[in-house]
Amino acid sequence: MAVREMTKLTLGPIAYHWSADARRDFYARIADEAPVDEVYLGEVICSKRAPFHEADLPATIDRLERGGKRVILSTLAEVMLKRERKATEDLAAMDTPEIEINNAAGLFARGKRPHRIGPFMNAYNEATIAWMAGQGATHVCLPSEMPAPAVAVATRAARDLGLRVEVQVFGRASLAVSARCYHARAHNRTKDNCQFVCEQDLDGMPLRTRDDRPILRVNGIQTQSESYIDLLPESPRLIADGVTHLRLMPQAVDMVSVASVFRDALDDRLGVGDAEVSLRDLCANVPFSNGFYHGQAGYQRIAMSAPA
């Protein structure tokens, strides 16, 4: 189907504090093997982590571009400290590669030069998207808590303005950010003396209720969903509504295979049912959810009715 071939699969920025070695290996495999079109790089969650992988960035960009991927640099979601302000300003000054902005400080620094709007920018509606388009936005990633009717209206409006539209279809949802580091807190430390305990949890630190039900994941200052969003079955509807880019968030699973399942399903080489079985196998015991998109509690898994 022609319209489907145009749909781009993207890999969002790594939310966790994976080691420099792990990142190098991860992106080498992505470059060579993953059927994704675009890859977002950069530290979005914690500015303290950035020095660990900044030095590798030029080589990673080069590696991915040689693998045929378009690279976009994402800015921090929270900008408060001097080093965070500086990092945001530096990224906003770059001509290439493209940048994705996640904080109004980045919009300020970027001015009217072209940029992408990241998922932390709260582009919830057509009026805000129109404003952003007038300021140089070329691409908008919608907040993952938006329900289907709003996604459809926002997407149509954005496409009419010439913007590309992205929706997260795989991985943990970002549910909150804070100035406080909850990873450090769990280890009786503070953000300033965290000793990077977050590196122990490659897929986030699990929180369970006191009656032992998994509920949330902690990733430094970020709180994430316990479940992985999975909108693979909803992807045809997203595409029909005009969504141009589907985002996979890197989790501690075989992301090359996850991307392949999505690509095969989008290209009709794999039926939705089989694709879902494959995803399930790849993600062990992690629950899947699509509640946000269906206007229900985010953690819920709403069964799709069989196509007519």
Partner 1 sequence: MSLAELICPSGTPAALRTAVDAGADAVYCGFQDATNARNFPGLNFTPDELEASVAYAHAKGTKVLLALNTYPPAGKVDLWRQAADTGARLGVDAFIVADMGVAHYIARTYPAVRLHLSVQAAASSPEAIRYYCENFGIKRVVLPRILTIPEIRQIRKEIPCEIETFIFGNHGLMVEGRCSLTNYLTGQSTNMDGVCSPASDVEYTRQADGSMSSQLAGFTIDCFGPDEKAGYPTICKGRYTAPHRPDGYYAFEEPISLNLSRLLPDLIDAGVHAFKIEGRQRSKSYVRGVVSAFRAAIDDIRAGRQANIANLVALTEGQKQTQGAFETKKWR
The footprint of partner 1 on residues 80-109 (CB under 8 A) is 80, 84-85, 88-89, 103-105, 107-109
Nearest distance from C-beta of residue 4 to partner 1, angstroms: 24
Which residue type occupies 285? N
191 binds partner 1 per the rule CB under 8 A: yes
170 binds partner 1 per the rule CB under 8 A: no
- CA atoms of 134 and 255, how far apart (whole Å): 36
CB atoms within 10 A of CB 193: 7
Which residue type occupies 247? R
Nearest distance from C-beta of residue 141 to partner 1, angstroms: 14
- Judged by CB, which is closer to partner 1: 241, or 276? 241
Nearest distance from C-beta of residue 85 to partner 1, angstroms: 6
120 binds partner 1 per the rule CB under 8 A: yes
237 binds partner 1 per the rule CB under 8 A: no
Which of 45, 61, 71, 177 touches partner 1 (CB under 8 A)?
Answer: 177
Q: Give which of 70, 73, 63 is closest to 24, Cα–Cα.
A: 63
Dihedral sign of CA atoms 91, 92, 95, 96 in order: positive
Q: Give which of 262, 301, 297 is closest to 278, Cα–Cα.
A: 262
What is the x/- site pattern for partner 1, positions 285-304, by CB under 8 A?
Answer: ------xx--xxxxxx----
Nearest distance from C-beta of residue 105 to partner 1, angstroms: 4
SS3 label, residue 139:
strand
199 binds partner 1 per the rule CB under 8 A: no
Return the range that interacts with partner 1 (CB under 8 A); candidates 1-9, 170-178, 254-262, 266-274: 170-178
178 binds partner 1 per the rule CB under 8 A: yes
What contacts 20, CB < 8 A, 6 or more positions away? 52, 53, 55, 56
- Judged by CB, which is closer to partner 1: 19, or 300? 300
- Judged by CB, which is closer to partner 1: 23, or 110? 110
Tokens of 245: 């880019």
Which residue type occupies 268? D
What is the Cα 37 distance to its own chain's centre?
14
Element (H, E) at 214: strand 214-219
CA 77, 82, 88 angle in degrees (round to 5)?
40
Size of the site for partner 1 (CB under 8 A): 76
Nearest distance from C-beta of residue 142 to partner 1, angstroms: 9
What is the x/- site pattern for partner 1, positions 255-274, by CB under 8 A?
Answer: --------------------
Angle formed by the axes of helices 255-266 and 20-33, nearest 10°: 30
Residues in 216-235 at the binding interface with partner 1, rule: CB under 8 A: 216, 218, 223, 225
- Judged by CB, which is closer to partner 1: 151, or 270? 151
Burial of 51 (0-12, 13-18, 19+ CB in 10 A): exposed
Nearest distance from C-beta of residue 241 to partner 1, angstroms: 11
- Judged by CB, which is closer to partner 1: 72, or 105? 105
Which residue type occupies 294? H
Nearest distance from C-beta of residue 257 to partner 1, angstroms: 27
